[in-house]
Structure 1
């Protein structure tokens, strides 16, 4: 067996591994999307969208926010919950 054939086999194995990993990652993202969609159908806000304080009011949802705060704006019926930091917002999403 020549060096080229060994290298080609290794390259092909690496490509197949990357494809499999991408397929697994895509499947995991699809499962997560389906899980979040099911929560939304049940009326549970997943806090998937927020608007934050930027020093001036651009959107009505920013009214009353202080530096570091953000407000949930998910869909047409976001819960309007105010988060005091990005960490608090992420924790709320991860708690679901």
Structure 2
């Protein structure tokens, strides 16, 4: 009895991983399309932002208090300021 590599089992595992990766990629593409459609409708998806920092590095950080984050998506559109990480992620998840 040999306990060496089992080519068939290894190949099946590799194919399962490829299939899982394909499913994950397709899900990410659908999410990207959904977010692009929201942006096309003028809805901010809060995809970029800055957090409080002292001293500020970016102009958008000026005026933020500890724990706050400001949306920087787009050019002058969204002025969303979250008071915590939880508030930021809740706003993103609500889309």
Superposition TM-score, scaled by structure 2 size:
0.91
Q: How many residues align?
A: 95
5+ residue gaps, structure 1, are none
CA separation of 1:34/1:88 partners in 2, compared to 1, >3 Å: closer, same or farther?
Answer: same
* Contact 1:72/1:78 (<8 A) preserved: no
Task: Tell me the residue number matched to 1:87.
Answer: 86
Summarize deviations over 1:2-40 as a string: whole Å, max 9, x none: 858981110000000000000000000000000000000
Coordinate RMSD, CA, aligned: 1.8
5+ residue gaps, structure 2, are none
Measure the CA separation in 1 of the matches of 2:40 and 2:3. 55
Q: CA deviation at 1:77?
A: 3.8
